[in-house]
Each structure stands twice: as C-alpha cells, then as structure tokens.
Amino acid sequence: MSQEMTGSEIVLRALVEQGVDTIFGYPGGAVLPIYDALHVQNSIRHILVRQEGGAVHAAEGYARSTGKVGVVLVTSGPGATNAVTGLTDALMDSVPVVCLTGQVPTHLIGNDAFQEADTTGITRPCTKHNYLVKDIADLARTVHEAFYVARSGRPGPVVIDLPKDILQGPGTYTPPSINGHRSYKPRKKGDIGQIEKAAAAMAQAERPLFYCGGGVVNAGPKASHLLTELVKLTGFPCTLTLMGLGALPASNKQFLGMVGMHGTYESNLAMYHCDLMINIGARFDDRVTGKLDEFAPHSTKIHVDIDPSSINKNVRADIPIVGDAAHVLEDLTKVWKARQHRADRKKMDAWWAQIDEWRSRDCLKYKQSDTLIKPQYALERLRELTGGRDDVFVTTEVGQHQMWAAQFLPFEKPNRWMTSGGLGTMGYGLPAAMGVQVAHPDALVIDVAGEASVLMNIQEMSTVAQYRLPVKIFILNNEYMGMVRQWQELLHGGRYSESYMDSLPDFVKLAESFGAVGLRAEKPSDVDGVIEEMIAVDKAVIADILVDKAENCFPMIPSGAAHHKMLLGPEDQADNPISEEGMVLV
Amino acid sequence: MTERHVIAVLVDNEPGVLARVIGLFSGRGYNIESLTVSEVDAEAGLSRINVVTLGTPMVIEQIKNQLDRLVPVHSVHDLTEEGPHVETELALLKVAGQGDKRVEALRIADIFGAKVDDTTLESFIFRLDGQSEKIGRFIELMKPLGLVEVARTGAVAISRGSEGV
Ligand SMILES: Cc1cc2nc3c(=O)[nH]c(=O)nc-3n(C[C@H](O)[C@H](O)[C@H](O)COP(=O)(O)OP(=O)(O)OC[C@H]3O[C@@H](n4cnc5c(N)ncnc54)[C@H](O)[C@@H]3O)c2cc1C
Ligand SMILES: Cc1ncc(C[n+]2csc(CCOP(=O)(O)OP(=O)(O)O)c2C)c(N)n1
Ligand SMILES: [Mg+2]
C-alpha cells in the first residue's frame, strides 16, 4: 500500500507534513543523504549557515517571531557539538526547535567511528527530549512526535539523531498518529476552582500587580490580547519580564516597564510592595526576584504556568494554576465578569498614586552629552526613527546594550523581541536576526549588538550576504565587554581585567567585505543620519555607533539585594556597597 | 525539614530512560538514596523505577514535577505521601568465619529471619528482605562476625489496598 522510500525522503516528507518551509543547516558526511534528497525538492528552503551554532539561533529567531517550530539540520560529531549552545539556549528560553543531527551508521555506534559523538548523551540535559532512531520503521513516527513534543506544553528543543544507514535505508512513510502521545499530555485548561479563587483574591486586593513573562508570548498572540483585556478590565498595573516584553503593549498606560535587575524603579517597587501578585507565565528567575527571602514579602501569589515544575520552584505560590496562559486568561476573565468582581476604586486610586510617585523618579533618565553618544540616546533615536512602523523586529546580543534595548525600545506586540534571557548567549543576536528576516522578508529586523558579542557569530555575515537578508546590525560600540566592565567597577574595585576589547575590526570595512553597507556614528549629531540611512538602504547594514565607553546600565538591583535596594544611577552606587553575600552570586 | 520519600515512576521501557532520570537527579543536585528499575509490563512496554530520595517538602515536590515532565514518564507516585504502603528491600550478605563467630552469625541470621542461600565450610551467603533500616541493622551486626560483601537491591514499595498506580 505505502510506497517504499529512503529514510531521507521519509524525513523530508514528515517535515513537509509538519508545515516546515525552512531549515537552517550545514552539511557533512553523515547527513549527505538528506542533502541529496533536499536537492531534488522544492517544498523546503535550506539556509546554509556558516557555523552550526548560528543555525540553532537562526531557528530560534524564526520560531520566536512566527510561533512555529524552528528546524535545524547538522552533521554528526562536530556538527552536533556545535549545536549544543543553541540547544541549551532554546531550552532555557522555552523555544520550540527540532534539530536533526547526523550519526554514524548504527553498526558503528560505540566504536569511536569517524565523527562519532554520543549526541543523545551530550544533548540529554540540554533538550526537552531527544531520540536516536535505530529502526527505519520508527523514523516517521519519531519525527512527528518530535514536533509534537517541541511545541506542546512548555516548548523546547528536541534532537533527533539519525544514523546514516537509516537515512539511506528503504522504509515506508507513516502520517502523524491521530491518537495523542502515550505519556506526554500537558494540561491546558486551568482548574476552575483555582481560577475562581484567583478572581476572588483579585477582587479583594489593595495593591495588585500582574507580573507576566515569556509564557504569555509562548501561548500565542491570543494570550496577549486576553492579557491586555484583563489588565484593562481590572485596572491593575502590569510589569513584564525580559522574555515577556510585547505581551502587553509598551504604550499601555498600565504597563510599568520591565521588572528585575535592570527593570524600572516603579516595577520593582510595585513588586516589593504589592499585596497580590498575579504571575502569568513567568518563572521567578533570580534576575527578577533578587534576594528571595525579601521578595515581595507582603504578597499573596497567584502563579499560572503550563509547567508544574515552574510552580513552587523558587517561590511558593498561594494559588497555583497549571494551564496554558491563553486558556487560563480566558477563564479568569470570564469568571471576573460573571461574578461581577471589580476592584475597590478608592484603594486602586491610592495604589496608582503611589506608583505614579515612583514613576516620577524617571528612573531611565541619563545625562545627555554634546560630544559623546550615550547608548541610551542612540536607542531613543532608533525608537523615534522607527516609530509608527508596524513591522519592526528586534534581536539582541548579550550585555548592557541588551538591557538598554529592553528599557528603551517599545514592543507593542508579542513575537517582535528576540533575546537570549535564560542562558545569556553572546552571539545570539546576529543569527537570530537572520532567522527572523527569513521568516519576515519585508520586515525591518534590527540586531541591537555589542561589539564583543557580535564577533562571536560574525561569520554569519556571509550567510546574510548569500541570501541577501537586509538585517541591520546596530552596534553600541563601547570597546568594552560593557556588562563585565560594569560589574568590575561595582564589585571588583574597578580592576578591568580582560574586559577591554582590543584590536577590534573596522566594522565599516568588515561590513563592506561581506557586501553589506557599513556606517559609523562618532558624535551625537551623526546618529540620526546613520539610522535613517540604515533603514533606507535595502541591504544588510552594520551601523557602528561609537558610544560612551564608561556608561553604566541603571537602574540596577545589585545581586543578592532586595527590590527596594535599587541603585538608580552613579550617585547611588557609592553609598551602597555590594554585600559579601551578593558577591558570590552571578 | 528533610524528609525521606519513596517514589514510584512508571516509564516507557526505552533506551536512555534511566539515564534521563539519573541525569535529572545529578544535574539538579537531588539525593538518591536508592534506585531500582525493572520492566513490569512487557506487553505495554512499561518499566517501574522505584526511587528513595531525601529532601525538603519543596524539593520533593520539585523532584516529582521534574520527573513528571520527562517525555517517557507515564506517572509519578509519591508512596510516602499517598498513604500506607509496603516497602521492602532484598540484601545478600557474604559472611566468612569459623568457630564461635560462625555460630553467632547463623544465630543472628535466624533471629532476623534471614535465609542461608549458600554455604561453604568457611562462609555463608545470607538472604534477607525487609525494611531498609532492618537490613542496615543486620549488616552492622554481621560486621564483627566476618562480613565480606553486601549486595542490596534498594527499596521497592507498593501501596496498600486494592487500587493500583
Ligand atoms: C544580562 C542579562 C540581564 C537580565 N536582566 C533581567 C532583568 O532585569 N529582568 C528580567 O525580567 N529578566 C532579566 N534577564 C532574563 C532572565 O535571566 C530570565 O531569562 C527571564 O527573567 C525569564 O523570563 P520569564 O520569567 O518570563 O520566563 P521564561 O524563561 O520566558 O519562561 C516562561 C515560563 O512560562 C511558562 N510557559 C511556557 N509556555 C506557557 C504557556 N503556553 N502558558 C503558560 N505558561 C507557559 C514556562 O513553563 C516558564 O515557566 C536578564 C538576562 C540577561 C542575559
Ligand atoms: C558566550 C558568552 N560568554 C561570556 C558571557 C559573559 N558576558 C556577559 S555580557 C558580556 C560582555 C558583552 O560585551 P558587549 O557585547 O560588547 O556588550 P556591552 O555589555 O558592552 O553592551 C560578557 C563577556 C556571555 N554572556 N556569553
Ligand atoms: Mg561592548
């Protein structure tokens, strides 16, 4: 009945059936059969990266900006090990990725064969799940299952290790099973009794606060709509994590800005003083909680998460709700309306008056300069000059520039902001921007970069050139690993050990050598022109913005401190030496 | 606040599943006091892992949730929390000695209800099952009497009553 085909053909057919249109990959001996099969079909586009690590970040960018599963194809041994950082990144940030790795033929596994690595062993702790296919009869089912696992529940990366003989052998294709998975069935609907309790607590609250995160983004655009509606309905303030930016429009008056170590003063003080915290899809990360025993000490905590292991991990929840953010938000809104709950007007006014007082500290203000480009200024100009466009996607590298981008760029929608939060992987932004641009060919895709980070995957400029991807790499070049320099200033007596970026390339020439446009801004008056040109040219651009080398990122909650011990600027830094306890934390 | 919990985990009997469970414990710094695994339903391809662990209530809850989110895990049962259960372990002990010590070893083994599985003129192999703690006491008593070697299975447990997991 079913027609016989090779393992490689089975893999491609399964990918097509899973809706895959793009693969990011790099060939090698063990996967040549798949490359052969790719060569003779038109359904799937293959993007040839320049290092496998870039492929995984590109797939992450693709996935985060579309809500679909990103797909990677790499060879055995070094191909697979190069993918490990990206897989770990996707695991930490809950990004759905399926990574196909080549493997030596089954009869050679365990023999230290050429380019053999124990890929399932190496990737076991950095994937949501992984498979080694040893029988072609399992192949199609395994690929379908991998996609199901990658996108269901808390999304994550899945590896399928494919021995070469399986790829070459004859087998038959089977479509996805209609019966659900045997054992993995994450719960979507929240317990209605718990949701009732949550709604009742919300109606009673005097100082409520929504604290929402990447889970709302993961739950799809509908969840963001529902959140926006519920925030409006209740009149409560809302803060977002780094991963949650865009889940509530930045322009919403009830949005307090980002929470956490480099979040706003008003968000963090609201966290500290709230009496009810409504956590939806955020995981109480240590960048957010600061000192755990002083974290939101007066609050009752509602915690909505699709992954039960996120609940009661770091912080005890009073009203835990296991479920998908969209489903729970929908039910919560229904219950709130049906019970005719409403917040106490007087108490809410008092709470908002307090918040407005915190807001009036204007915690993101900085000292403007006539001669030096302040990184914040460059981002403000980027914000202004891209304002009004509905098609802007931002990725970042890791460091100060990332935090400034989070603080200064406005995200009105989910899936527009791609950053490495959990793992903090320098080198993420450029390949991620490629992935975003492949998925959204006409959009304005900007990688807000640091000069140190961008060098970690700079080879991908070659990919950018090959596929004519018009990504804009906006480097806030401070000639330092700025975030490291800042910690050394605050914690290590200003001993800037190995954090100066000596011998940097000329980024303008570098751009040109890859067929891209290189631009440079050296003084504040250059900034607008550079940004305008960067946007206007229909090509990849590296904009080298030479910024103040000594600028630090504020506000900042020093490690190990509580939220109300925020440093607002350089003037605070002197009076608040970091505790010894804080010194050992990262 | 540290508690000892006996947890039963039903998993697909597939390669790597034990590595996943062990990797979870080592990677996240949880304790394993003992762990046993064996297929329990060949037709359905299910194995049962019995794990005894120590932790605060919050850590125990994490362990169960972390186990439950592993893809090949069907269900996780905290027998300690779920109520009365029967727990047992099997140990084999080799005790070598002559004369009085040998007689004494046999006498104590008899008191504990240990069976003699094998004997030579200079040694016994005792087999004892029961609570881990009882096995521990038996081992202590055998030490001065010529204990040479111990093999223990680790605890297995099953809940009381007519319900299955
Ligand atoms: C230099 C640097 C500085 C940083 N500073 C900050 C900072 O100041 N503030 C900050 O917030 N972060 C900061 N971070 C990021 C931080 O490390 C964490 O990555 C981030 O706080 C985690 O965001 P989150 O809680 O939204 O969780 P995510 O990592 O996005 O996790 C999402 C959670 O939602 C759950 N979930 C997934 N899907 C669903 C669904 N469909 N429904 C419901 N729940 C779901 C998941 O199980 C998980 O618990 C920084 C990172 C770096 C590199
Ligand atoms: C792969 C990797 N190595 C090291 C680090 C530690 N680290 C965090 S930020 C940073 C400096 C980043 O410098 P740059 O890209 O220039 O950004 P800036 O902070 O100057 O804006 C370093 C080294 C990391 N996050 N990732
Ligand atoms: Mg820098």
3-state secondary structure at position A193:
helix
Rounded Cα distance between A417 and A249, Å, is 12
Alpha helix segments (H runs only) across A499-569: 507-513, 527-536
A373 lines ligand 2 (CB under 6 A): no
Q: Is there a catalytic annotation at residue A52?
A: yes
d(CA A225, CA A236): 16
Q: What percent of chain A has pLDDT over 70?
A: 99
CB pairs under 8 A between A and B: 43
The pLDDT assigned to A575 comes to 67
The residue of chain B with its CA nearest to that of A309 is B65
A182–B74 C-beta distance less than 8 A: yes
What digits encode the pLDDT tens for the residues A197-227? 999 999 999 999 999 999 999 999 999 999 9
Read off the pLDDT of each residue in A266-293 and give the average, rounded to a whole number. Answer: 96
For residue A244, count other CB atoms closer than 10 A to its CB.
29
Beta bridge partner(s), residue A160: A100, A131
Are the CB atoms for A375 and A401 separated by under 8 Å?
yes
Q: Whose CA is nearest to atom 1 of ligand 1?
A: A399
* Confidence band of A564 (pLDDT split at 50, 70, 90): confident
Note the pLDDT of residue A403: 98
- How many other β-carbons are positioned within 10 Å of the β-carbon of residue A400? 23
pLDDT tens per residue, range A134-150: 999 999 999 999 999 99
pLDDT at A557 > cutoff 80:
yes
Handedness of CA A43, A458, A82, A241 (dihedral sign): negative
* pTM for this entry: 0.97
* pLDDT value of residue A6: 98
Per-residue pLDDT tens over the stretch A358-417 = 999 999 999 999 999 999 999 999 999 999 899 999 999 999 999 999 999 999 999 999
3-state secondary structure at position A149: helix
Q: What is the pLDDT of residue A141?
A: 97
Annotation says A483 is catalytic: yes
pLDDT tens digit sequence for A48-106:
999 999 999 999 999 999 999 999 999 999 999 999 999 999 999 999 999 999 999 99
DSSP run (H or E) holding A171: strand A170-172
In the annotation, is A254 catalytic? no
When the pLDDT of each residue in chain A is averaged and rounded to a whole number, the result is: 96
- What percentage of residues in chain A have a pLDDT greater than 90? 94
pLDDT of residue A574: 64
CA dist., res. A214 & res. A93, Å (int): 8
Mean pLDDT of A281-287: 97
The pLDDT value recorded for residue A579 is 75
Mean pLDDT confidence for B108-118 = 98
Residues of chain A with Cβ-Cβ distance to B25 below 8 Å are none
Residues with CB under 6 A from ligand 1: A 93-94, 154, 213-215, 218-219, 241-244, 258-263, 281-283, 285, 287-288, 305-307, 310, 324-325, 398, 402-403, 421-422, 424, 483
The distance of A74 to chain B (nearest Cα, Å) reads 22
| B76 to chain A: closest CA residue | A183
